[in-house]
Structure 1
Amino acid sequence: MIVIPMAGRSQRFYDAGYAVPKFMLDLNGKSVFAHAVESFRTLFDQTAFLFILPPGEEAAAFVRAECQALGLKEVTLVTLDRPTAGQAETVELGLDSVAAPDATPLTIFNIDTFRPGFTLPDGLESAEGWLEVFRGTGANWSYVRPGPGPEPLVVETAEKRPISDLCCTGLYHFARADRFRQALAAERAAPQAAELYVAPIYNHLIGSGAQIAYRLIERQEVIFCGTPAEYEDLQTRTHKGG
């Protein structure tokens, strides 16, 4: 199951003068939503999609129309009636709403990130979870600290705290929904950040002996559209033919 939490308020976009949530904005003739979801085009026929939405019928109607236009085969929408304590809780509420079985594999992805040509990685099937990363710097990312050996294994994750040069793209995989739920319950009992982010909860799985892996991609393979500046830069590059 691909889970896309999109219940945030898009406050930075509203503050910048935009009148609709960022996922509804047009970018090169397609919505930001469509650009993000098309990352998984190769999985449209074989994977269920769960979209977790903010209150109101407008967002739900928009997403239904976009999913139909894109040709997704199995789509479930969950509309929340309140703000959440963070992305991890948003995902939890969505899973609970659809009674997702414990054995359901979860791939969590941001609605403001694009991964053109995404394919599932080979060689990570034995891991209980994995994160996608690129090499970068800055205090605004989630981070992975790799193990000392040649295998792409994670020994620690952190939110907005650079513990290596491996920055998360916002794509998180859990082999089973019950392991996600267990990790989130442990995070609530011993929080590592002000919000319930997804990346830090892997530490609870790692601490229990779980094997968590990472997939390293090149920085140019991922496109971010989470701030007005990033969105406007993409518009400018598109208009220039870049």
Structure 2
Amino acid sequence: MSSLIPPTVIITMAGMGQRFRDAGYTVPKYRIEAHGRTLFAWSMLSLRSFIDAGSPFIFVALRQDGAEGFIRDQAVELGIRDVAVVELDALTDGQATSALAARDAVAHPDRPMLVYNIDTHVDPAHLPAGAVRGDGWVPCFPGPGAAWSFARADGTGRIEELREKERISDDATVGLYWFSSFTLYARSYAEFFADPANMAKGEKYIAPLYNHLIRAGRPVYLHRIPFEAVVPLGTPAEVTRFVAGPDPALSVD
């Protein structure tokens, strides 16, 4: 890992989860249980390497969900020792803004940071903390369809372009976005979204934000993960499939 400094991990979980409510779920998506763990835990276990490295975690949630107690209890079980919870009073205009809302809780903005969601489980063996590099680092897998962010890279793995919901390659992001510092992220956010045309489908996504770094000549790298190591959990159908399937034989303990 860059300078052996564990990154600040920002977890964005400030959405309404409307699709799950519409599908009849009566608890927030992240509290749904499958194979003896909550979906929250399955997502966080993806980051086992960063947890073991001692990364501080900042969780950004909606105040109305009353999630802080749940988050702190789960963090104890998962071995996350440094926890902060930022509660928002309203929905934001996208994940990029939700991540920025963690600003006051970031103790060392000059250190690396990463943003992750609660919509995906990745076998943690494929997300080693020591693999990060450049000013941006984006794990990807061969995701089907077009409901992802996509990265196009050259033969060395250096990313040339990212697009939201546009299949410019077979490399779909898993929802983890690493930056060499929170300061770089915040500055890039301000500069990139100063032009409203850079919003995608009315939202501020993180993946296209890397294009600002790329145009400035900063190195952003792709990290490929095999298809079978990724379990999407973002829709009711995906969760139903996960719940009904076998207990994943993944190295999470």
**TM-score (norm: length of structure 2):** 0.88
Partner SS for 2:71: helix
Aligned partners of 1:151, 1:239: CA distance in 2, in Å?
36
Aligned partners of 2:248, 2:109: CA distance in 1, in Å?
48
Report the CA distance between 1:131 and its aligned residue.
0.5
Aligned partners of 1:11, 1:123: CA distance in 2, in Å?
35
- Alignment RMSD, CA only? 2.0
Q: 1:35 aligns with which of 42, 51, 59?
A: 42
The code of the aligned residue for 2:110 comes to A
Aligned partners of 2:128, 2:153: CA distance in 1, in Å?
20
Q: 1:168 aligns with which of 146, 156, 173?
A: 173
CA spacing shift, 1:57–1:144, aligned 2, 3 Å: closer
Aligned partners of 1:36, 1:239: CA distance in 2, in Å?
15
Q: 1:135 aligns with which of 142, 146, 151?
A: 142
Residues 102, 178 of structure 1: 8 Å contact kept: yes
Aligned partners of 1:43, 1:99: CA distance in 2, in Å?
16
Report the CA distance between 1:164 and its aligned residue.
1.1
Report the CA distance between 1:65 and its aligned residue.
1.2
Report the CA distance between 1:121 and its aligned residue.
5.5
Aligned partners of 1:172, 1:215: CA distance in 2, in Å?
11
The code of the aligned residue for 1:59 comes to A
The residue that corresponds to 1:184 in the other structure is 189
Q: 2:72 aligns with which of 56, 64, 75?
A: 64
Report the CA distance between 1:37 and its aligned residue.
0.8
Aligned partners of 1:136, 1:225: CA distance in 2, in Å?
13
The residue that corresponds to 1:152 in the other structure is 157
Report the CA distance between 1:239 and its aligned residue.
7.6
Q: 1:213 aligns with which of 221, 227, 233?
A: 221
Aligned partners of 2:248, 2:41: CA distance in 1, in Å?
21
Partner SS for 1:56: helix
**TM-score (norm: length of structure 1):** 0.92
Aligned partners of 1:239, 1:182: CA distance in 2, in Å?
42
Report the CA distance between 1:99 and its aligned residue.
4.4
Residues 49, 128 of structure 2: 8 Å contact kept: no
1:91 aligns with 2:91: no
Partner SS for 2:46: helix
The code of the aligned residue for 1:210 comes to R
Number of residue pairs matched by the alignment: 238
Structure 1 gap ranges (5+): none
Partner SS for 2:178: strand
Identity fraction in percent: 34
Report the CA distance between 1:124 and its aligned residue.
4.5
